[in-house]
Structure 1
Amino acid sequence: MTNLIFDPLIPLAALYTLAGFALAITAYALWRGLSGWALRGLGSIALLAALANPAFQREDREPLSDIVIAVVDESASQRIGTRPDQSATALARVQAEIAALPNTELRILRLGDGDGDTGTQLMTALAEGIAEEPRARIAGAILITDGQAHDLPLAPDLPAPLHVLLTGQSTDWDRRLIIKNAPAFAILGESITLTLRIDDQGAVPADIAGSASISIAVDGGDPQSYRVPVGEDLELPVTLPHGGMNVLQFQVDVTPGELTDRNNAAVVQINGVRDRLRVLLVSGEPHTGERVWRNLLKSDPSVDLVHFTILRPPEKQDGIPVSELSLIAFPTRELFVEKIDEFDLIIFDRYRLRGILPTAYFDSVRDYVKRGGTVLIAAGPEFGSADSLWRSSLGEIMPVTATSRVFEQGFRPELTDLGRRHPVTQGLEASAPEGGWGQWFRQIGITQTSGQAVMSGIDGSPLLVLDRVDEGRIAVLASDHMWLWGRGYDGGGPQLELLRRLAHWMMKEPELEEEALVATATGQRLTITRRTIGDAPGPVTITAPNGTTTELILPETGPGRYMAQYDAPEMGLYKFTQGDLSTVMALGPSAPREFEETIASEDPLTPIVAPMRGGFQTIADGTPDIRTVGQGRVASGRGWIGITPRGAYLTQDIRVSPLLPAWVWLLLSVALILAAWLIEGRRGRKTTPV
């Protein structure tokens, strides 16, 4: 290809100035009537042309092929129903059509699920595909998708038409569950409200529209089913059953014909917190450890303490007038009968039967434990006497019997083999100073009859025994010298941490359950932990969101603790089962963003496709032909889509040669100017006769 180019020998500003000056001189000569004005003008043109330095540029060009980019959406929403087959059919047709066009290539990009829960990153994939190719060669782009993209603001500017081949069927319909409002935490005992909604999309059959069946399960327990309306906000009042993480699982029954059941389930995780821990401390005769108990409980702002103590035993006779000892009557009936269920924990600290509290009150405490209450007994020397608390109706639920022996000697409390595995005491030895915890100097003789002995004292005898009674829990500490740890005597010990764990275990906090199956997530990596005080558990069965199951062996990582990690293949709801234990966990949302809108539609992409002169074709109606159209022309019609040939080329060689040699330009300009001068000198100026 040959082109005429100019490469001025002087700056363009100077060249334009000279051209203006030459034009002015020529015009002046014409105005004065000089006979050589035309030759003078031609000479000026020849001189200016020489300064403009015209030349012929000859290029050897190699034509380049046009490129069509095809983005195949293979995200999760494109893997339901017949969409994978539709995508494969459409891609095969596009490949055949492009192969039939001369000088045209096809680039295929496959798009999977976005990282995390980012959805379908269709525009990002298209932009990356365009960036990898020369823009001048792109003749068009084709998206094979259901039309649901989640990065529309990132749409690139295409120099050619953009088309969409839509998957799906006109009869597609789907039902989904939406959690519109769910708090992250709630106070135990107070009702909160969740807002749910069930929506239908697409061509919903008339015989199933209007209502749906939903089941609700808490912490993987037995679900309860309800019939609810579709298309309406549903307010569900919830009162959390326990502290810690509460997992509420919602499942809408799958109806035959739905596109997918991946959006029929949802999981809400709500952390249950206690407003205040209500503790009733019942003390017997005053002793050194009593103030330690009181100070410990009063120092915690989350503890609401009621302290019932006997300051003057009935047998004490000191001659003080009764009028000087009169105090406000303690509301014992209100505490031990009427409002006993309002307490989270009752502590009996060296209490003995003196006839102050009626027998019926101890029956009330026993029944309180069986209904789900918790009692801690800190025993002193009186525990083995005739007026021992063990001899009341509370003895029926205690895991020990009294031997009437009291050991007055120094000893260091230790964890039993079971205690090293039990969540209440597991790991406490790590904080012990060299040589062990500080000494205690009194232990009450007891015999364990049930429950779990997690700490031992003199000669390995049980020191701390835990037990479950019906719905409640009880613990017996066979010593009144724990206060020595609080004072730091002989190195002290973990008094505060032990009591905190003990109280939380008695209040059924999930993180301190002996038998537990827990799953946590960091990104898409799941950590499964199994706690047990029994034998090594078997493998954990993991049920993925798509229904596939995997068995995972948990190696032992510590006493009573088994743990393993699992890389989840996709977002969604996972269920973990091991023996009688099960738990669920939502990795990301239980219904990922991919399944929020599952009906194929051209609406989301219309604002992107329309400015690029492209169109939409439904694969179910037949795959379209591909034609070539001119730049700026309509590129889509019934049964066809168009691409725009770009005519790109690669320049292999460039040769530049001057239009005329410089000496020719000089000779020509001098000859013309000289001829003009001679004509003007010979003829002179024309005169007008008088």
Structure 2
Amino acid sequence: MSAEYDLRLYAVNDIVTPLAFDTLQDLGVSGRGSALLDALFTLQNEYQGLPLAGVLFLTDGANNTGTTESALLEDFALPVFTVGAGERSRYRDIQIAEKRVVNFAFLRSPVTVDFTLKSWGYQGTTVPVILKQGNQVVATTMVPIAQPEFTAPISFTFTPREIGTFSYAVETPLQVGEMIESNNRKEFSLHVIRDKIRILIVSGRPSWSYRFLRRALKSDPTIDLISFIILRTPSDVVNVPERQLSLIPFPTNRLFTRELGNFDLLIFDNFSYTFYFPLPYLEHIKRFVAEGGAFAMFGGDQSFGDGGYAQTPLEEILPVEMLPKPGGYAFLPGKMELTREGETHPITQITVDGEENRLLWEEMPVLKGFNRVLRVKPGAIVLGNYALAGKDQRFPLLVAMKYKKGRTLALLTDQTWRWNFEMVGKKKGNRHYLRFVRQMIRWLVKDPTFKQVQVLTSKETYQIGEEAEIRVRVFNNDFSPATDAVLTLTVKDTQAGVRELSPAPAAQPGEYVATYQPDHPGIFTVRAVARSRQARGSSPSFSDQILGSDETLFRMVQPQIEFENAAPGEALLRKMADLTGGRYFSATTPWQEIREEIRKRLAGKAEYRIVEERPLELRNTLWAFLALLSLFSLEWIIRRRGGLA
């Protein structure tokens, strides 16, 4: 055809690119997709006013980006001849396509994700579709494929049980004869947050401490509070019917067996368990904390050793060892004095400025009693001591500790209500008491802002070729910046496995930075584990102590929508040809037949126009000069012989 037509060659993806014929064999896959219709209008505009005869398209018919309305071709001025690559009847593939996926969910609340399964050529087959979180199977469903070209909706409903960002995938096993492997799996990330902090309080008796604590928690809209207060004990002697003495029975079996896992925090406020439930229920609480829950015990004459908790499972998880016998509560005045750790810990940070914070705590009212304990456990942090009035004696008052995946706290007094009541009486308000309660709750339930290790990426999604920047912030147990932490930083993905990175200290104290540049798309999990580096001679219990860990995800993408649905698009190619006066050919049509049909349809449509004028200087064109000189010489000879010269 090159003898009859001036052929121009172009590659089409999401743009139109001119090609030389000798580079055709090196043509590879590129671009974000195929914009066939856009390409036709681009070429028409480029050759506007020139005698363009027609367009020949060799393509599989995928038009997955740009203009998708083929009816626009009715006004297209050129015949389009299409040669379809591939036969749709022989195409075999199964694809998982995303339909509706949320990117966040609430803790302990069901979430539904919707996908679509598309199949070509696997009628009569039943395939499993699996939802996974990492390598763990969350749910599975079976999909029977009924037709040669088949589409079925898929929905999974599950309940997240942990806070954080997690990687999920919906996948189906590769079937025999599939032409594309990469579209059998669809990954997505889910950020799980709390809708509310669920707290259960059990208080041993009505008290000012319970009243102000409950009021503080109820004033926080992010807290969902359930509280039980003991109005009488089984040993109380009364002369009225049972039904008139209790507003509601204490559902111990339901609370401490079936429902405990639905709470984030359990608080015992001056409460002794001995009258109400057996010792095995304390094992349930211990397990609840070990699996990530939080527990706090507040002081009083029915708490700690006086409540019978010495040598029980609760003593194992609390940060103090209790006196083995009752009588530990002391009615002695004193004030809370911050320790060095308490000066920087978020629980006791009632204001941002350190010096102002210290002065505010010194201003807090005197307390009138506290619980004595045997000792503070190794690894626990004393945030405040009970400094006896007029004496140089101090006892632990506010102590915090991590226990396995959870956190516990001991507040060894029932007098903190005075920080509210008496400060209001001095017309200084109760905002510092409220902040103390809120900070304490958020530290116990591991609010993300109170994590000792925080992993951050500069953005959630990167393009292939970009470098992901990873920053890690590390805090000591007292929440001072951990400038000499031992940090292990890893990146994991499904293709390359786990790789360890080498973070370097950043300009901000306690912050470390690393970069990672994957060469393939996917969801990547970044995990940081930080340990304290203790000076020689320090307590061995603190040596190599784990400060914490954190994970985050980032996505690396390489848009390749060609592989999302690669079935040959014969219908579109036929429509393109019909609307423009061209013709569709299958890939099996002999080239001679294609060539003759194109010649026949273009016959009589050839136009000749001056398409370019180029001025030439005669003196710079030797062959033209010699030709012209020869013509003049020949004329002169002829004229001379004829007697005309």
The answer to whether TM tops 0.5 is yes
Residue number in structure 2 paired with 1:41: none
CA change 1:212–1:479 in 2 (3 A) is same
Residue number in structure 1 paired with 2:62: 148
Residue number in structure 2 paired with 1:492: 432
Residue number in structure 1 paired with 2:11: 72
Conserved 8 A contact 1:574-1:587: yes
Structure 1 position 498, deviation (Å): 1.5
What SS does the corresponding residue of 1:282 show, helix, strand or coil?
Answer: strand
Residue number in structure 2 paired with 1:175: 94
Structure 1 position 178, deviation (Å): 3.1
Residue number in structure 1 paired with 2:402: 467
Aligned equivalent of 1:647, options 604, 609, 621? 609
Aligned equivalent of 1:573, options 510, 522, 527? 522
Aligned equivalent of 1:332, options 250, 259, 274? 250
2-structure distance, mates of 1:454, 1:135: 86
1-structure distance, mates of 2:156, 2:551: 24
Is it true that 1:242 corresponds to 2:162 in the alignment?
Answer: yes
Q: In the TM superposition, what whole-angstrom CA distance separates every residue of 1:616-671 from its partner, at most 9, and x where no partner exists?
A: 4566877779979999x6259xxxxx996563424689xxxxxxxxxxxxxxxxxx
Residue number in structure 1 paired with 2:567: 599
Aligned equivalent of 1:212, options 121, 124, 127? 127
CA change 1:559–1:605 in 2 (3 A) is farther
Aligned equivalent of 1:351, options 270, 277, 283? 270
TM-score normalized by structure 1? 0.60
CA change 1:392–1:122 in 2 (3 A) is same
Residue number in structure 1 paired with 2:357: 436
The letter of the residue matching 2:132 is A
Structure number with bigger Rg: 1
Structure 1 position 148, deviation (Å): 0.9
Structure 1 position 241, deviation (Å): 2.5
What SS does the corresponding residue of 2:136 show, helix, strand or coil?
Answer: coil
Conserved 8 A contact 1:454-1:464: yes
Conserved 8 A contact 1:140-1:162: yes
Conserved 8 A contact 2:348-2:439: no
Conserved 8 A contact 1:279-1:343: no
Conserved 8 A contact 1:185-1:270: yes
Superposed CA RMSD: 5.5
CA change 1:432–1:522 in 2 (3 A) is farther
CA change 1:445–1:67 in 2 (3 A) is farther
2-structure distance, mates of 1:230, 1:561: 52
Is it true that 1:502 corresponds to 2:470 in the alignment?
Answer: no
Q: In the TM superposition, what whole-angstrom CA distance separates every residue of 1:261-316 from its partner, at most 9, and x where no partner exists?
A: 22111234455566765422123465554333101222234544333335679999
What SS does the corresponding residue of 1:136 show, helix, strand or coil?
Answer: coil
Q: In the TM superposition, what whole-angstrom CA distance separates every residue of 1:399-451 from its partner, at most 9, and x where no partner exists?
A: 3324769893452366479x87xxxx499688346533531566866644366
Is it true that 1:295 corresponds to 2:215 in the alignment?
Answer: yes
What SS does the corresponding residue of 1:217 show, helix, strand or coil?
Answer: strand
The letter of the residue matching 1:573 is G
The letter of the residue matching 2:186 is A
Conserved 8 A contact 1:278-1:345: yes
Conserved 8 A contact 1:161-1:643: no
Unpaired runs of at least 5, structure 2: 146-151, 387-393, 477-484, 530-549, 616-645
2-structure distance, mates of 1:530, 1:246: 18
Q: In the TM superposition, what whole-angstrom CA distance separates every residue of 1:540-567 from its partner, at most 9, and x where no partner exists?
A: 43648x8799876555566766556768
CA change 1:649–1:610 in 2 (3 A) is same
The letter of the residue matching 2:523 is Y
Is it true that 1:266 corresponds to 2:186 in the alignment?
Answer: yes
Structure 1 position 70, deviation (Å): 3.8
Conserved 8 A contact 1:249-1:265: yes
What SS does the corresponding residue of 2:356 show, helix, strand or coil?
Answer: coil
1-structure distance, mates of 2:275, 2:230: 9
1-structure distance, mates of 2:251, 2:376: 32
The letter of the residue matching 2:436 is Q
2-structure distance, mates of 1:294, 1:238: 33
The letter of the residue matching 1:453 is I
Residues paired across the two proteins, number:
537
Conserved 8 A contact 1:66-1:648: no
TM-score normalized by structure 2? 0.63
Structure 1 position 476, deviation (Å): 3.1
What SS does the corresponding residue of 2:50 show, helix, strand or coil?
Answer: helix
1-structure distance, mates of 2:395, 2:36: 68
1-structure distance, mates of 2:589, 2:554: 41
What SS does the corresponding residue of 2:357 show, helix, strand or coil?
Answer: coil
Structure 1 position 147, deviation (Å): 1.6
Residue number in structure 2 paired with 1:610: 578
The letter of the residue matching 2:565 is E
2-structure distance, mates of 1:141, 1:465: 76
What SS does the corresponding residue of 1:178 show, helix, strand or coil?
Answer: strand
Conserved 8 A contact 2:301-2:307: no
CA change 1:349–1:159 in 2 (3 A) is same
CA change 1:124–1:260 in 2 (3 A) is same
Structure 1 position 131, deviation (Å): 3.9
Structure 1 position 153, deviation (Å): 4.0
Conserved 8 A contact 1:74-1:110: no
Residue number in structure 1 paired with 2:460: 521
Aligned 1:396-407 pairs, distance under 5 A: 396-402=316-322
Residue number in structure 1 paired with 2:34: 120
Aligned 1:88-167 pairs, distance under 5 A: 92=21, 112-114=30-32, 119-149=33-63, 150-153=65-68, 158-167=76-85
2-structure distance, mates of 1:276, 1:490: 23
1-structure distance, mates of 2:572, 2:339: 69
Q: In the TM superposition, what whole-angstrom CA distance separates every residue of 1:491-547 from its partner, at most 9, and x where no partner exists?
A: 937425524523532xxx778666676765257576656566694444543648x87
Conserved 8 A contact 2:350-2:432: no
Q: In the TM superposition, what whole-angstrom CA distance separates every residue of 1:450-488 from its partner, at most 9, and x where no partner exists?
A: 66638465899794423235x765333456676677666
The letter of the residue matching 1:211 is T
Conserved 8 A contact 1:73-1:143: no
Percentage of matched positions with identical amino acids: 18
2-structure distance, mates of 1:539, 1:342: 31
Residue number in structure 2 paired with 1:17: none
The letter of the residue matching 1:594 is E
Aligned 1:628-667 pairs, distance under 5 A: 634-635=601-602, 647-650=609-612
Conserved 8 A contact 1:456-1:463: yes
Is it true that 1:412 corresponds to 2:352 in the alignment?
Answer: no
1-structure distance, mates of 2:496, 2:137: 19
Conserved 8 A contact 1:217-1:248: yes
2-structure distance, mates of 1:229, 1:281: 47
CA change 1:145–1:312 in 2 (3 A) is same
2-structure distance, mates of 1:134, 1:552: 56
CA change 1:565–1:495 in 2 (3 A) is farther
The letter of the residue matching 2:38 is T
Aligned equivalent of 1:305, options 214, 225, 231? 225
Structure 1 position 136, deviation (Å): 2.2
> Which one scores higher on RCO, CA 8 angstroms, separation ≥ 6?
1
Conserved 8 A contact 2:289-2:403: no
Conserved 8 A contact 2:336-2:385: no
Structure 1 position 598, deviation (Å): 0.9
Is it true that 1:341 corresponds to 2:260 in the alignment?
Answer: yes
